[in-house]
């Protein structure tokens, strides 16, 4: 079985990435063989299309509601048939895997399309392409086109497998608003060594970039009546933080996990700013407060906290509830907190609650009551023994986010990386306002916090003829209450994307649908049961209308001989 051609074609237009992977395979044996298409794609992406071309016939993937697809599939397929086609492989990727039997000397073409909105983190967007052909490929190429009307501030490529020979196969062409990256290694350049037919191409190919930002009230782009508004203000003073680290030191954290936690916390302590206040709570079946109140992050206090971190050992049970309630109490009694400061609790745990209150529903309810919208709760789940669903619901119900920390060599870096994302809040209580009577289907437009290096994205549909779209942003910064205003000339904005060769026409509409689905699914996690059903119904409707494989839909992949398989999108909560 020979993969004679593998193309990755990616078009990024205003942060929205549309990627098509095409693999052409020939069976050089004199009997029928299994041809496999296996690619890893970002977890944040939604598959929108898949097809196989076998002996001149196209077998398309059809996207249906998950339950309906499952019923059809169960009746059509004998027990014991294939497992799911998509599995999570690591913290950023999931694997899509399909194989089909092809006759001697026959060919098959696989084509997979997926889309995602690139998210700005720590001052850059990242496009990740996993390269793993597992054999030498005669025609191999990665083609990335980027068009950013705001202008490209910087652009870099990075790869885990580059050699000097391979660098010669990489070209970058860039002007003010566009970039084209082409990676097209010959067979010889792909070889590990001239004697052996082993490939060097195995790892990540990454493009990172950021855009120029002129306007203070962000940037608005409009195509076919849909708009997207990006907001990432420059050079804002940082809001002081009041942060309580709640660290699990139960028995299951023994060994490498507690070591990596210590490493990460020591680095994080160094990153605290003098105007921040902090405290530590560690817990197993007992909850221990390092100090009874918040302390300013002076050199002495940081050094004294570092000494405590060095002594962290792990044993005993897991009283998550007691530890979180203690953290809330420290913030409640620390009044008055510095004016215009951000209070947050960062929980790190690797297990289920086994001491104190054990019912996750009761814990969720008690914590939400105690926090009462005053503080943000971030939950980090270490490894796979945690109930990620529980942590995610708790974080999203309390203005934070959850993240799984994978038990790899880089766990300390994952912890530190997460902290860096939330370490520099620059705005709070952000309201993005648009004319109510002229905008439909507005995505989320109120945000509790904005962190340095990230970006707020709002999208909607302009429902009646307007010449000008006015926007107003209200927010609190460290020094003042801000009101920022901007007006977008609809005709001029529409013009920007006309006659752009490589833009798929309705990309802002698809971006709007993508963002809407992501937000509806997130909202559903922390909603009451009736609301949850309504939110999921809306997300399902959009998933079907725009043909996205989301956690609510399945793709039925048809094969020769009436075989069918299902592709379901996995979630971090399983």
Q: What are the extents of the domains in the chain?
A: 2-212, 219-236+426-525, 241-423
| Correct CATH for 241-423 of 3.40.50.150, 3.40.50.720, 3.40.50.410, 1.10.4080.10 | 3.40.50.410
Could you give the CA distance from residue 171 to residue 184 in angstroms, rounded to a whole number? 9
Burial of 103 (0-12, 13-18, 19+ CB in 10 A): middle
pLDDT of residue 279: 94
Q: Are 231 and 431 in contact (CB under 8 A)?
A: no
530: tokens are 């009736």
pTM of the model: 0.92
Q: What is the pLDDT of residues 247-297, one digit of tens each?
A: 999 998 888 888 889 888 998 998 899 999 999 999 999 999 999 899 999
Specify the pLDDT at position 500: 63
Reported as a pLDDT band with limits 50, 70 and 90, residue 82 is very low
- Cα angle 365, 519, 523 (rounded to 5 degrees) comes to 15
Residue 83's pLDDT is 45
Largest CA distance in the chain: 80
220 beta partners? 229
Q: What is the pLDDT of residue 79?
A: 40
Same fold, 2-212 and 241-423: no
| Cα gap 47→60, rounded to integer Å | 13
| pLDDT surpassing 80 at residue 554 | yes
How far apart CA 305 and CA 286 sit, in angstroms, is 19
Report pLDDT for 13: 92
Contacts of 214 (CB under 8 A, 6+ apart): 150
219-236+426-525 has which CATH code? 2.60.40
What is the reported pLDDT for 573?
73
Domain 2-212 has CATH 1.10.10: no
Cite the DSSP H helix spans in 349-468: 360-371, 388-397, 411-422
Q: Residue 291: is it exposed, middle or buried by C-beta count within 10 angstroms (0-12/13-18/19+)?
A: middle
* Omega within 30 of 0 (cis) for the link into 336: yes
| Mean pLDDT of the residues in the chain | 89
pLDDT greater than 90 at residue 34: no
């Amino acid at each position: 079985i020979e993969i004679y051609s593998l193309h990755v074609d990616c078009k990024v237009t205003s942060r929205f990435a549309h990627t098509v992977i095409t693999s052409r395979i020939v069976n050089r044996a004199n009997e029928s063989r299994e041809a496999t298409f296996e690619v890893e794609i970002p977890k944040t992406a939604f598959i929108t299309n898949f097809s196989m071309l076998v002996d001149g016939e196209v077998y398309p993937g059809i996207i249906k509601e998950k339950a309906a697809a499952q019923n059809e599939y169960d009746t059509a397929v004998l027990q014991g048939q294939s497992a799911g086609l998509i599995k999570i492989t690591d913290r950023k990727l999931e694997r899509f895997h399909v194989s089909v039997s092809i006759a001697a000397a026959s060919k098959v073409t696989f084509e997979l399309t997926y889309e995602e909105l690139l998210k700005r983190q720590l001052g850059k967007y990242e496009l990740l392409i996993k390269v793993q052909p597992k054999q030498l490929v005669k025609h191999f190429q990665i083609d990335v086109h980027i068009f950013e009307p705001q202008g490209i501030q910087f652009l870099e490529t990075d790869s885990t497998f580059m050699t000097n020979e391979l660098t010669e196969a990489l070209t970058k062409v860039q002007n003010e608003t566009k970039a084209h990256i082409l990676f097209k290694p010959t067979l010889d350049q792909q070889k590990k060594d001239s004697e052996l037919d082993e490939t060097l191409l195995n790892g990540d190919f990454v493009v990172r970039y950021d855009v120029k930002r002129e306007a203070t009230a962000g940037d608005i782009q409009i195509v076919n009546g849909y708009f997207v508004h990006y907001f990432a203000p420059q050079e804002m003073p940082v809001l002081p933080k009041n942060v309580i680290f709640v660290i699990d030191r139960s028995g299951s954290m023994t060994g490498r996990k507690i070591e990596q936690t210590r490493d990460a916390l020591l680095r994080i302590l160094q990153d605290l700013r003098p105007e921040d206040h902090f405290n530590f709570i560690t817990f197993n079946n007992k909850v221990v407060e390092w100090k009874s109140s918040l302390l300013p992050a002076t050199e002495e206090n940081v050094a004294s906290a570092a000494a405590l971190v060095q002594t962290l050992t792990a044993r005993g049970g897991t009283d998550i509830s007691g530890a979180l309630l203690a953290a809330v109490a420290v913030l409640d009694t620390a009044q008055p907190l510095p004016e215009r400061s951000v209070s947050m609790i960062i929980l790190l745990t690797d297990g289920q609650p086994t001491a104190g209150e054990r019912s996750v529903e009761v814990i969720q309810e008690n914590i939400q009551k105690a926090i009462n919208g005053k503080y943000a709760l971030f939950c980090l789940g270490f490894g796979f023994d945690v109930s990620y669903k529980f942590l995610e619901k708790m974080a999203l119900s309390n203005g934070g986010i959850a993240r799984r920390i994978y038990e790899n060599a880089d766990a300390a870096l994952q912890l530190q990386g997460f902290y860096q994302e939330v370490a520099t809040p620059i705005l709070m209580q952000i309201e993005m306002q648009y004319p109510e009577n002229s905008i439909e289907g507005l995505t989320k437009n109120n945000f509790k916090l904005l962190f340095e290096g990230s970006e707020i994205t709002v999208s909607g549909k302009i429902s009646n003829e307007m010449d000008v779209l006015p926007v107003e942003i209200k927010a609190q910064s460290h020094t003042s209450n801000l009101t920022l205003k901007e007006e977008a000339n609809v005709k001029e904005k529409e013009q920007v994307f006309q006659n752009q060769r490589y833009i798929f026409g309705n990309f802002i509409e698809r971006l709007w649908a993508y963002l809407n689905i992501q937000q509806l699914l997130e909202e559903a996690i922390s909603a009451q049961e009736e609301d949850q059903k309504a939110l999921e119904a809306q997300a399902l409707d959009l998933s079907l209308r725009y043909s996205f494989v989301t956690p609510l839909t399945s793709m039925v992949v048809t094969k020769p001989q009436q075989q069918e398989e299902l592709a379901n999108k996995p979630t971090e909560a399983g």
